[in-house]
A and B are shown apart, each in its own frame.
Chain A
Amino acid sequence: MPRATAYSGLPRWIAVPAGLGVIFIVLPLAALATRVPWSRFWTLVTSESSIAALGLSLRTSVASMLICVVLGVPMALLLARTTFPGQRLVRSLMLLPLVLPPVVGGIALLYTFGRRGLLGRSLEVLGVQIAFSTTAVVLAQAFVALPFLVVSLEGTLRTVGQRYEVVAATLGGRPTAVLLRVTLPLVLPGLLSGAVLAFARSLGEFGATLTFAGSLQGVTRTLPLEIYLQRESDPAAAVALSLVLVAVAILVVGLAQTRTQP
């Protein structure tokens, strides 16, 4: 839609560092594109190991995103709509995976679900082994991706406010009905963009996955792990696969943008 140009009030020189920032992001991507072995591109990205890694990445990222939605929506609701003792602490802890080095997350998960971990021992008694399995990949991804969904949705919930929910309650709406018929539809854009962000973060997960799930082709070797591995043996293949991830990332970000800007 054409917009009237309004006076921005910004000094002109602001455009210089801003432009540098844009170049800083775009230039490496362009550099990557220049190194793509276009003649072998298709063969490289359709090799058995590549397909296996891409398929695994997509499957695990979807699973991780679903876990984030199932756990993250209630978390965001409680953080945004209620007050309880220790809320600030809980919120800070929930954000920890955002700033924690993923390797540390991976080690932490290992000491929780690993064979000798906090829960791992009991799980092993039940015949369940999580570490170094596809489940571990999903857990590692969900661990680092959950805060993205919670933060995004909590922000949307606060922006939308509680006024509609109050009206719905005075019209006789029970809490569950109000949640399903009013709250969630109202925050749907935020929920979708949060889910997309969680998916994207899961797709790019590397450190925690490698530490906690290892790198077993078809089982735990996701696309980022495959790229890292290929870089040692066949840099051209690594570049080609990187481009695939960049394409998926662009798609995902584009999707999130259109959803959040109705």
Chain B
Amino acid sequence: MTLQMSATLGLRDFEVEVRLGDNERVAVLGPNGAGKSTLVNLLAGILRPDAGRADLDGRVLFDLGPGARKWLPPHARGVALLAQDPLLFPHLSVLDNVGFGPRAAGQSRSVARATARRWLDEVEAAELADRRPAQLSGGQAQRVAIARALAAAPRLLLLDEPMAALDVGAAPLLRRVLRRVLTDRTAVIVTHDLLDALLLAQRVVVLDHGRIVESGPTAEVIKHPRTPFTARIAGLNMVLGRTEHRGVRGRDGTLVEGLFRVDMDPGDPAIAVFSPSTVALYDQPPHGSPRNTIPVTVTELEPRDHEVRVRAHTASGLVLVADVTAPAVGELDLYPGKRCTYAVKATAVTIYPA
């Protein structure tokens, strides 16, 4: 199953082109309002673009624009949508919920139920067949919703933050089930969770303001993000700027030295990234150190498992994050508003072209 889509939607300032290869799964990341749901809704046929064309396996989903007026309604597309909310039909049993797609495709009640049982098995929910949706937990309902989507035999599966509404306990099982059933499928997965992108998709597309700002193999995008948004969800500090000496001079003036992944000329647009765990904090700028030193003001302290995440900004407002131990917070007497110095070894900083 291959998918190609290009679409523009003026009302939402959306202009995106995506391509999915056979059995390829793409994770769509992006800040709120970036157009992730718009992308999904365009593919599902819930939204109509102003212009554009999409085909799935050579079948035209829509072709709109000058001289073209083709539009396939949602039920004829073979595109199933799994949303954040499982939306199981409350008046049908779990079995008949899952059998809805097969019934709609013309199967008899008994055949549809057999199909439904098979898919319930697949998502480890066989024992829920006779229940009503109201009797399910959030995780169970979402697994049933997956079975229902798959039972409709879709060519393309759209997942719109399928795990966002689940409690932490239910997510691992659902993730495992999704990882299994998504093998050998073409899917678009909207998520804000890096882990989902890594586990479920081979490729990542980052949307912002209705445009694709970044895309590539998941591992690569996470290691070398190109946008502040991606850097943030990848958990990395990012300095965007131009090369200078042995580092990057950020737009705000901060100079960060590091290791160049490729040879670059001075003045080339460049990105420097470093992990918050490589940052050390000092009261006073350390002398005679070969490290990058960045004066910052602490804005926020957030306790995490065994550490404290320090959020601080430079004089010009660039936000940089550091992970330090709890005792270090005490020794340095950190509090929001305190001025201190970040120190990062050049070997911990990766620099690549922007």
Q: Which residues of A contact B (CB under 8 A)?
A: 163-164, 166-175, 177-178, 181-182, 185-186, 188
Contacts and interface: CB of A to CB of B under 8 A. Distances in A.
27 contacts: A163-B85, A163-B87, A166-B46, A166-B74, A166-B81, A167-B81, A168-B89, A168-B100, A169-B74, A170-B44, A170-B74, A170-B152, A171-B75, A171-B149, A172-B75, A172-B78, A172-B101, A172-B152, A173-B75, A173-B100, A173-B104, A178-B75, A181-B103, A182-B89, A185-B91, A186-B89, A186-B90
A124 B152 CA distance: 55
Interface of A is mostly: helix
Contacts of A172: 75, 78, 101, 104-105, 152
Of all A-B residue pairs in the complex, the 6 with the closest CB atoms, nearest first, are: A169-B74, A172-B104, A171-B101, A170-B81, A173-B104, A171-B152
Categorize the interface residue count of chain B.
20 to 34
Contacts, number: 64
A181 B75 CA distance: 14
B87 A171 contact: no
A163 B82 CA distance: 12
Contact of A177 (B77, B85, B104, B148): B104
A163 B81 CA distance: 11
Given A171-B148, A172-B78, A173-B104, 20 more contacts: A163-B83, A163-B87, A166-B74, A167-B81, A169-B73, A169-B74, A170-B44, A170-B46, A170-B74, A170-B75, A170-B77, A170-B81, A170-B152, A171-B101, A172-B75, A172-B152, A178-B75, A185-B89, A186-B89, A186-B90
Contacts of B105: 172
Interface string B39-65: 000001110000000000000000000
Nearest to A170: B81
B76 to A, nearest CB: 8
B105 to A, nearest CB: 5
Interface string B17-55: 000000000000000000000000000111000000000
